[in-house]
């Protein structure tokens, strides 16, 4: 991501977009790092090489004029008026991605009478929430999710409905951190991971970003998957078993980080990711479009910027039909 | 270039004087063609689009409102024509260009262009850029447009212009990797 930012700055410099002050900063940064200097020199070289352009071909003016005469002066009689600026615009009206921030934060509820222990509950509706747990661990709670735990957090057990990312603080080796969903249990042996409690039809999933976790089905305890960084597993509701998922998507954490990375990803994958992150809805005018693929990294962009980039790259027409609802149209890719 | 009395020309044009149109055409066709060619990179297509620009001028002759110079006005129309083409470019046109690219493509999908003249290589890489990405790059590199001007012409934000410039140069850098190695070595040995 940083390299991408640096690249954009270098190119802005080369194309004369930078003010003197900005240029000075950039050149200073370049002079301080051998790596940056190499990168800069490469781009400078490319920029200069790219100037070598094939010559502009000569046109046969009399022939062109004749062609014009035949068309313009013959087609008359009455002059027609055609608007010159029939601009091909995809106009995305300013979209208010303002997210209602009504969140039940720290709404403490007493969950009697199981052990008459005070329970803490956090619940999100449409906004992601970051929660600090009593032991110093962190939870990022995705939209429409809920976590509950005993206020003293002893033992470190948390109940999840929906989806959350956990960054677990490592205490002594025998002190576990457990996330329970209705049907599964994840015991943490390491640090950053995500749990989705799943819907009725779709089983719970766990994705581990760093460290190591054990994922088991509550109704079949012998079936345990030990997951390490980059691994994902799913609980199958019908089989009551836990199994690995090959090649997890790289965008599972985007709702926390605000960044997306698409690698030859089809629109069929991109649009749902944007829908759930921005809370918008897409209507596809032509289903063939869904197989168009796109390559890009987005970070900290708003929905308008993302859609502009996407429609530009794939030659799509994206119109806002009503707030939060977009119609996607265009010529399907091959 | 002969100094044209454009104001007089435009009023003569408005009176449907074909001779005025002829003067304008002969004076500006090469310019309009060039502006379009820089972006479109195909001779015949650029000629057709340039014709279209002058047809629009002729059809609209009674209602022309030219604030700036006629030259500036035509240049802007040329950009719009070329960019509109890039936008609506059909898969058919793309297919023809892909075929041209495939002629120099090796079995592993890499361009067999290391042996070509630098100029031809660059031309080929540029032709292979996604159409509108190429539009952004050409306007910046060859037409000296600012990001803001490009954004206005193409109806996109400056941020998208920045990203597309990054994309274009990233591709060029990737495709010209072998030259860069030679270049960087030469820096060390000199």
Tell me if A38 is assigned to some domain: yes
Contact status, residue A11 vs residue B162, Cβ threshold 8 Å:
yes
In this predicted structure, which of A93-102, B103-112, B137-146 has the lowest mean pLDDT? A93-102
Burial grade of B80 (CB within 10 A; 0-12, 13-18, 19 or more)? buried
B19 phi-psi bin (left φ>0, alpha ψ -120 to 50, beta other): alpha
For residue A165, being part of any structural domain is answered with yes
Order of strands, edge to edge, in the sheet holding A163-167?
Answer: A129-132, A138-141, A163-167, A192-196, A205-208, A232-236, A241-245
CA-based R_g, chain B, Å: 20
Within this chain, do residues A164 and A192 fall inside the same structural domain, yes or no?
Answer: yes
Q: Are A218 and A261 found together in one domain? A: no
Q: Is B181's Cβ below 8 Å from some Cβ in A?
A: no
What pLDDT score does A75 carry?
Answer: 55
Which residues on A lie below 8 Å from B162 (Cβ)? 8, 11-12
Contact list in A for residue B166 (CB cut-off 8 A) is: 4, 7-8, 11
Give B187's Cβ-side CA count (13 Å radius): 10
Q: What total of structural domains would you count in chain A? A: 3
End-to-end CA gap in chain B: 45
Rounded to whole angstroms, the maximal C-alpha distance in chain A is 96
Residue A37 has pLDDT above 70, yes or no: yes
A274: domain CATH number? 3.55.50.30
Sign, Cα dihedral of A157, A158, A163, A164: negative
Residue B131 CB: number of other CB atoms within 10 A?
19
Range of weakest confidence among A92-96, A296-300, B129-133, B141-145: A92-96
Q: Does position B107 have pLDDT exceeding 80, yes or no?
A: no
Q: Tell me the shortest Cα–Cα distance from A292 to chain B, in angstroms.
A: 13
Q: With beta carbons less than 8 A apart as the criterion, state whether A197 and A160 touch.
A: yes
Given CB atoms, is B174 within the 8 Å cutoff of chain A?
no
Average pLDDT over residues A299-320: 81
Same domain, A184 and A114: yes
Residue position matching structure tokens 């479109």: B40
User: What would the two tokens of residue B176 be?
Assistant: 């010209």
pLDDT band per the 50, 70, 90 thresholds, residue A45: confident
Q: How far is Cα A227 from Cα A220, in angstroms, rounded to an integer?
A: 17
Q: Are residues A279 and A215 in the same domain?
A: no
Rounded to 10 degrees, what is the CA torsion of B11, B13, B14, B15? Answer: 90
- Residue A292 maps to a domain: yes
> Model confidence over A53-109: pLDDT tens digits?
667 888 999 999 998 988 888 755 443 333 333 322 222 222 222 222 222 222 223
Per-residue pLDDT tens over the stretch B31-90? 999 999 988 888 899 999 999 999 999 988 888 777 778 888 899 899 989 888 887 654
A308 and A260 inside one domain: yes
Q: Does B28 touch chain A (CB under 8 A)?
A: no
Domain ranges of chain B: 1-88, 106-190
Name B133's Cβ contacts closer than 8 Å, sequence gap at least 6. A313, B164, B167, B168
What is the rounded CA–CA span in Å between residue B55 and residue B58? 5
Instruction: Please provide the CATH number assigned to the domain covering B106-190.
Output: 1.10.10.10
Same domain, A241 and A262: no
Res B61: pLDDT: 84
Q: Residue A117: which pLDDT band, with cuts at 50, 70 and 90?
A: low
Mean pLDDT of A170-177: 68
Q: Are residues A237 and A259 in the same domain?
A: no
pLDDT at A138 exceeding the cut of 60: yes
Domain coverage including residue A122: 104-245
Sorting pLDDT into bands at 50, 70 and 90, what band is A136? Answer: confident
Neighbours of A285 (CB within 10 A): 14
A96 within domain boundaries: no
Tens-place pLDDT, residues A324-333: 889 998 887 7
Q: Which of residues 84-113 of B touch A (CB under 8 A)?
A: 84, 87-91, 94-95
* Of residues A158, A70, A71, the one with CA closest to residue A121: A158
ipTM greater than cut 0.90: no
pLDDT at A63: 92
**Does A174 score more than 80 pLDDT?**
no
Are residues A294 and A313 in contact, defined by beta-carbon separation less than 8 angstroms? yes
Helix axes A34-49, B177-189, angle to 10 degrees: 120
pLDDT band, residue A189 (cuts 50/70/90):
low
Query: Of A54 and B168, which is predicted with more confidence?
Result: B168
Q: Is CATH 3.40.1390.20 correct for B1-88?
A: no
Lowest pLDDT segment from A48-62, A173-187, B119-133, B169-183: A173-187
Question: Which band of pLDDT confidence, cut at 50, 70 and 90, is reported for residue B136?
Answer: very high
pLDDT class of A256 with cuts at 50, 70, 90:
low
- The shortest CB-CB distance from A313 to any of B18, B130, B176 is to B130
B51 vs A266, which has greater pLDDT?
Answer: B51
Mean pLDDT of chain A: 74
Taking only the tens place, the pLDDT of each residue in A310-325 is 888 788 888 888 888 8
User: What does the pLDDT average to over A43-49?
Assistant: 86
pLDDT beyond 60 at B92 = no
Residues A110 and A232 in one domain: yes
Distance CA A150, CA A135 (A): 12
**Rounded CA separation A212/B22 (Å):** 77
Quote the longest CA-to-CA distance of chain B.
68
**Beta-carbon separation of A308 and B146 below 8 A:** no
**Statement to judge: residues A280 and A204 lie in one domain:** no
Region A227-253 average pLDDT: 73
Percent of chain A with pLDDT over 70: 73
Chain B CB contacts of A312 under 8 Å are 132, 156, 160, 164
Choose among A15, A43, A71: nearest Cβ to B55.
Answer: A71
Q: Report whether pLDDT(A38) > 80.
A: yes
The verdict on A188 and A302 lying in the same domain is no
CA distance A14 to chain B (A): 9
Question: What are the structure tokens assigned to A68, written together?
Answer: 């014009």
Q: Are residues A166 and A230 in the same domain?
A: yes
Higher-confidence position of B163 and A112: B163
**pLDDT of amino acid A192:** 65
Q: What ranges make up the beta strands (E) of A203-311?
A: 205-208, 212-217, 220-228, 232-236, 241-245, 259-266, 281-284, 293-299
Q: What is the pLDDT of residue B30?
A: 94
Average pLDDT over residues A260-269: 81
Residue bearing the bigger pLDDT, A159 or A210? A159
DSSP for A256-268 reads HH-EEEEEEEEHH
Verify cis geometry, omega within 30 degrees of 0, for the bond prior to A113: yes
Euclidean distance between CA atoms A93 and A318, whole angstroms: 10
Distance CA A192, CA A138 (A): 9
Residue A89 domain-assigned?
no
């Amino acid at each position: 991501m940083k390299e991408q930012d640096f690249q954009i700055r270098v190119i802005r410099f080369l194309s004369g977009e930078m003010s003197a002050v900005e240029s000075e900063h950039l050149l200073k940064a370049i002079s301080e790092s051998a790596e940056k200097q190499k990168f800069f020199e490469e781009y400078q070289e490319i920029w200069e090489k790219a100037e070598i352009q094939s010559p502009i071909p000569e046109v046969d003016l009399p022939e062109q004029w004749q062609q014009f005469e035949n068309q313009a002066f013959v087609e008359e009689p009455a002059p027609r008026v055609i608007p010159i600026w029939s601009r091909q615009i995809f106009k995305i009206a300013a979209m208010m991605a303002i997210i209602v921030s009504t969140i039940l934060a720290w709404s403490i509820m007493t969950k009697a009478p199981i052990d008459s222990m005070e329970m803490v509950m956090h619940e999100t509706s449409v906004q992601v929430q970051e929660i600090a747990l009593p032991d110093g661990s962190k939870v990022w709670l995705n939209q429409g999710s809920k976590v509950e735990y005993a206020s003293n957090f002893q033992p470190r057990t948390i109940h999840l409905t929906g989806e959350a990312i956990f960054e677990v603080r490592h205490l002594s080796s025998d002190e576990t951190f457990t996330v329970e969903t209705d049907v599964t249990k994840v015991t943490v042996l390491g640090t950053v991971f995500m749990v989705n409690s799943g819907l009725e039809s779709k089983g719970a999933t766990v994705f581990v970003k760093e460290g190591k976790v054990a994922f088991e089905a509550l109704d079949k305890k012998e079936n345990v998957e030990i997951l390490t960084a980059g691994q994902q597993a799913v609980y199958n509701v019908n089989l009551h078993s836990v199994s690995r998922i090959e090649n997890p998507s790289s965008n599972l954490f985007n709702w926390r980080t605000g960044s997306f990375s698409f690698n030859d990803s089809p629109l069929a994958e991109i649009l749902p990711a944007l829908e759930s992150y921005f809370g918008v809805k897409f209507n596809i005018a032509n289903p063939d479009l869904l197989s168009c693929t796109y390559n890009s990294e987005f970070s900290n962009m708003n929905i308008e910027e993302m859609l502009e980039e996407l429609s530009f790259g794939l030659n799509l027409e994206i119109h806002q039909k009503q707030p939060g609802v977009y119609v996607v149209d265009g010529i399907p890719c091959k | 270039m002969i100094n044209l009395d454009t104001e007089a020309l435009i009023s003569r044009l408005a009176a449907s004087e074909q001779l005025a149109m002829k003067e304008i055409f002969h004076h500006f066709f090469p310019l309009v063609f060039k502006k379009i060619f820089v972006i479109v990179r195909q001779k015949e297509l650029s000629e057709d689009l340039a014709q279209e620009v002058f047809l629009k001028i002729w059809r609209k002759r009674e209602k022309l409102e030219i604030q700036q110079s006629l030259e500036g006005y035509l240049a802007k129309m040329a950009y719009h024509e070329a960019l509109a083409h890039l936008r609506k470019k059909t898969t058919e046109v793309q297919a023809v260009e892909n075929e041209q690219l495939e002629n120099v493509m090796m079995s592993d999908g890499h361009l067999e262009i290391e042996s070509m003249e630098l100029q031809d290589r660059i031309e080929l890489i540029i032709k292979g850029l996604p159409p509108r990405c190429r539009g952004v790059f050409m306007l910046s590199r060859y037409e000296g447009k600012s990001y803001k001007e490009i954004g206005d012409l193409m109806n996109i934000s400056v941020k998208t212009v920045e990203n597309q410039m990054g994309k274009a140069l990233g591709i060029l850098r990737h495709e010209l990797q072998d030259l860069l190695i030679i270049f960087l070595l030469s820096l060390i040995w000199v």
